[in-house]
Structure formats: structure tokens, C-alpha cells
Amino acid sequence: MARTAMRPIPSGRVSRSEALVFGLILGICAILALGTLLNMAAAALLAFTIFFYVVYTMCSNAEHRKISSLAVRLAHSQKSVAPTRW
């Protein structure tokens, strides 16, 4: 894609393994710093957020789109998708 061709990984300036190691080091340092400087609940929330982000981005391929479209079709096949009263 022309828009992303000059970014570090697509252009070959940074390898995928280097980017992975850099991301892991930053994530671990951030979790440890937050746990040390603030509290463990905040660190646990950050760890969950990082985990969810990684899983979400890994699942955003064609298989994920198939599952998402199936969920949408199932939801729309129900008679009332949205509640009528709150």
C-alpha cells in the first residue's frame, strides 16, 4: 500500500523481530512502572489492555471478518435487536 510503504517495517529499516522485541520491552517496562509508581490494579488493567489490543489486531484478518459478519447476521435475524424500553 502506497500510504504505508515508507513506514519502518514495510520499508525494511526495522525487522519484524526487532519491532516485536521493542514492543515487548516497552509494554513490560510500562506495566512495571505503573505497578511500582501507582498500584497493581492499574498495572493489571494496563496489562489487560495491551493483551486485548494484541489479540484484537491479530484477529483482524479475513477469519475475524467472517466471524463478525456471522454475528451481525445472527443479531439481525432476531425479531428485536434493540430493546424497546430502557
Say what the pTM is: 0.63
Q: What is the pLDDT of residues 44-59, one digit of tens each?
A: 999 999 998 887 777 7
Question: What gap in Å lies between CA 28 and CA 41, rounded to an integer?
Answer: 15
Q: Parse the chain into domains and list their residue ranges.
A: 2-77
- φ and ψ at residue 36, rounded to 5 degrees: -75, -45
DSSP annotation of 38 reads T
DSSP annotation of 81 reads S
CA 75 to chain centroid, in Å, comes to 24
**pLDDT at position 78, please?**
59
First to last CA, the chain: 45
Residues of the chain with pLDDT under 70: 60-86
**pLDDT at position 65, please?**
57
